[in-house]
Amino acid sequence: LGLTDAVVFAGSADKVSEVYPRAEVVAMASISEGFPYAVVEAMFSGAAIVATDVGGVREAIGPAGVLVNAHDPAGLATAITELLRSPNTRRTMGAAARLRALRHFTEETFVDEYRSSYRRLAHVPQTSRPARPRVATALAARFQRTARAWSAGTRTTSDRVGLFERHRESRE
């Protein structure tokens, strides 16, 4: 390709946290994506990111990166080139990406969001739910107890897993 003087094809790396910060631009050219963990990892590094607009990439990156259509190599190349030609934009975009990652994707944020969801679920009035079979009612009661405990910060993931294992055993 004749790019050896201009581009580093990093290949695989054991510690991506050491690779991303060295990049001037991180390009993620997926054609399909669920939750874009690699994009979020790059965001934490403060790198400027160009990514394809697939799956959850738009939601994760927000305004802190450049999105291009999937299957559009020319659009991807143009976006990368524009960022390479603009060091100020790269720095600004990288800082915005890091700030967004710190705001939305830390372990503390995930735990807080789960706790908030459990709090909402634990306070749903009984009258708003349709009648259920006895097994579903028993499972819902256990889930509500677990939700209340999680919202109080007294349960662990293993407690939640145990709840589903007990349910599975009761059905066998």
Confidence of residue 29 (pLDDT cuts 50, 70, 90): very high
pLDDT in tens, 38-71: 999 999 999 999 999 999 999 999 999 999 999 9
Mean pLDDT score of the chain, rounded to an integer?
Answer: 78
Could you give the count of Cα atoms lying within 13 Å of 152 in the half-sphere of its Cβ?
Answer: 10
Residue spans of alpha helices (H) in the chain:
16-19, 37-45, 57-61, 73-84, 87-104, 107-122, 134-151, 157-171
pTM of the model: 0.65
- For 60-66, which contacts have Cβ atoms below 8 Å and span 24 or more sequence positions? 60/35, 60/36, 60/104, 60/105, 61/36, 61/97, 61/100, 62/100, 63/96, 64/93, 64/96, 64/97, 64/99, 64/100, 65/39, 65/93, 65/97, 66/93
Residue 147 has pLDDT above 70, yes or no: no
| Alpha-carbon gap, residue 90 to 126, rounded angstroms | 52
SS3 27: strand
Is the Cβ–Cβ distance between 61 and 67 less than 8 Å?
yes
